[in-house]
Amino acid sequence: MSFARLSTAAPGDVRLLNGEHLLLGGTPPGWPGRPVRPAPFYKRRYTWDGDIILGCAIGCRFCYYLWINNTAHTIGTGKKGLVRICEPEEAVAFLEQSRLFLRNIDPLTLCARSDGSMQIEEIAAFLKAFPHRNLVFILHRGYFGPRQLEAWGHDPRAIYCTTITPAPPEVNQEDWTPIHPGRQLEGLRFLLQNGIPPERISVMCGPFNSRNVEAGVLLIKRLGEMGIKFATYRGCSIGSFGVEPDREHLSSSGFLDGSQDERAAPEGHEYYRMKNFLHPDVEEKLLRAGEQAGVRLYRNTGLLYQKEFGIPVAFNRNNRWRRELGQWERVSTEELDQFLRSLGYHPISIRETEEGYLVELPEPEVATEDVAMTVGARFRTSVLFNRHRIAPSLADLHFYAANRLFWPLPDGWEEAVGLALSLAG
């Protein structure tokens, strides 16, 4: 479905637009069939993104889960909006049984569709049940303090992650997010003073535009002063997956600053209307601030994981070689072939190109980005496909299930896929 059609979707839209959409949020409110829960982990990009609880009581006004028809009701609606997806042990079992998951290698992101501040004990239980050495990035916008230190501090796999968003000085902080950057910095200082090394703290700064970039420059300076060694920075994103964004608020609060390219999103992506857009002048100011503060700044999380955490990453992204990650490695095409066959594919050929290894798949086989990034990371190279999709279609979930790429899929998924396809006509 084209973006143009998506963006006309009415509020209360119950359509499911692809397989990832179903795994991400389950069936939307008002679904005419049996409700289906989201999957514990719903996508594999540089990390496996998952949650034990879906939803977030914080309610940032730019949160992109507000623009997705099966998550909008879980954001900023207080505790009643929180939906338990599974028990922590079930999330562990999901990874153990999913054939795409690489034990002791793949990083995990917990609280990808939620916030860690609302599930401290659940995350501790996940860490206790998870027996492998994979790093676990815990997304947590709320303020860090003794509870988080006690719950996860002893586990070197746990990485404390937070996003800090200063609003432009002329608008209320609450018009962007109710979480105050000053108190977030106090929380980070608390962790550092209590033995959490800066290597276990991953800060994302942003989103930024011309209105809040000076506040961003100050933030980066503060991070450097307190001993933070690296951070990522972000531009603004807007999506629409069945829910129309509140453009009026986004403009009046300065999130849309009038100078952004609101069509800057990767091609073929159904969800993003504008993705991580940063004006070059804004980016330049942030990078200069990083240099002055001694904070290594990354725009791209793949590079962050590779350089700061030593994690093997795929050199391919969106079916292209991502050059900033460096030269891809030469690998054995026989081993590549065998690995793909173990995932249920039947490659016709694999040949080396300037961009990496190009795999030719027979119809109807398609490699999704979940698969492409797993294969790229497994071989630490760039692997491209003649037939590729950024996200699994609804029908692709049958392939996922048959080959247990993600497993087990939520109860009732097959029925929901059948109904979603018939509703789509």
Residue 120's Cα: distance from chain center in Å?
Answer: 20
Structure tokens at 203: 């800060």
C-beta of 14 vs 56, nearer to ligand SF4: 56
- Is there binding between residue 63 and ligand SF4 (CB under 6 A)? yes
User: Residues 6 or more apart from 123 whose CB is under 8 A from it?
Assistant: 52, 88, 110, 111, 116, 138, 151, 152, 158
Residue 335's alpha-carbon distances to 69, 330, 405, in angstroms, are: 41, 12, 19
- Is there binding between residue 54 and ligand SF4 (CB under 6 A)? no
C-beta of 177 vs 306, nearer to ligand SF4: 177
C-beta of 53 vs 314, nearer to ligand SF4: 53
Residue 302's alpha-carbon distances to 9, 77, 324, in angstroms, are: 32, 32, 9
Residues in the interface with ligand SF4 (CB under 6 A) total: 10
Of the listed pieces 52-60, 102-110, 127-135, 147-155, which binds ligand SF4 according to CB under 6 A?
52-60
Report the C-alpha gap between 14 and 21 in whole angstroms: 11
- Is there binding between residue 234 and ligand SF4 (CB under 6 A)? no
- Is there binding between residue 60 and ligand SF4 (CB under 6 A)? yes
C-beta of 65 vs 160, nearer to ligand SF4: 65
Report the C-alpha gap between 3 and 239 in whole angstroms: 10
| Least distance between ligand SF4 and beta carbon 145 (Å) | 16
Packing angle, helices 181-193 and 213-226, rounded to 10? 10
C-beta of 139 vs 394, nearer to ligand SF4: 139
Of the listed pieces 57-65, 154-162, 235-243, 374-382, which binds ligand SF4 according to CB under 6 A?
57-65
Pairing of strands 236-239, 272-277: antiparallel
| Largest pairwise CA distance in the chain | 60
Cβ pair 83, 63 in contact under 8 A = no
Of the listed pieces 6-14, 60-68, 234-242, 415-423, which binds ligand SF4 according to CB under 6 A?
60-68
364 upstream amide cis, omega within 30 of 0: yes
Torsion angle of C-alpha atoms 265, 10, 418, 99, degrees rounded to 10 = 30
Report the C-alpha gap between 148 and 140 in whole angstroms: 10
- Is there binding between residue 56 and ligand SF4 (CB under 6 A)? yes
Report the C-alpha gap between 201 and 135 in whole angstroms: 12
Contact map string, positions 174 to 203, toward ligand SF4, x by CB under 6 A: ---x--------------------------
Report the C-alpha gap between 346 and 357 in whole angstroms: 15
Cβ pair 274, 236 in contact under 8 A = yes
Of the listed pieces 51-59, 237-245, 291-299, 314-322, which binds ligand SF4 according to CB under 6 A?
51-59
C-beta of 111 vs 125, nearer to ligand SF4: 111
- Is there binding between residue 401 and ligand SF4 (CB under 6 A)? no
Q: CA nearest 201: which of 256, 258, 140, 284? A: 140
C-beta of 60 vs 340, nearer to ligand SF4: 60
Residue 214's alpha-carbon distances to 165, 168, 211, 282, in angstroms, are: 12, 8, 8, 9
- Is there binding between residue 58 and ligand SF4 (CB under 6 A)? yes
Of the listed pieces 55-63, 246-254, 285-293, 344-352, which binds ligand SF4 according to CB under 6 A?
55-63
C-beta of 58 vs 226, nearer to ligand SF4: 58
Site for ligand SF4 in 64-123 (CB under 6 A): 65, 75, 115
Of the listed pieces 56-64, 224-232, 287-295, 331-339, which binds ligand SF4 according to CB under 6 A?
56-64
Residue 141's Cα: distance from chain center in Å?
Answer: 14
Identified binder of ligand SF4 from the candidate list 37, 43, 45, 141, rule CB under 6 A:
141
- Is there binding between residue 205 and ligand SF4 (CB under 6 A)? no
C-beta of 118 vs 350, nearer to ligand SF4: 118
Give the binding site for ligand SF4 (CB under 6 A): 56, 58-60, 63, 65, 75, 115, 141, 177
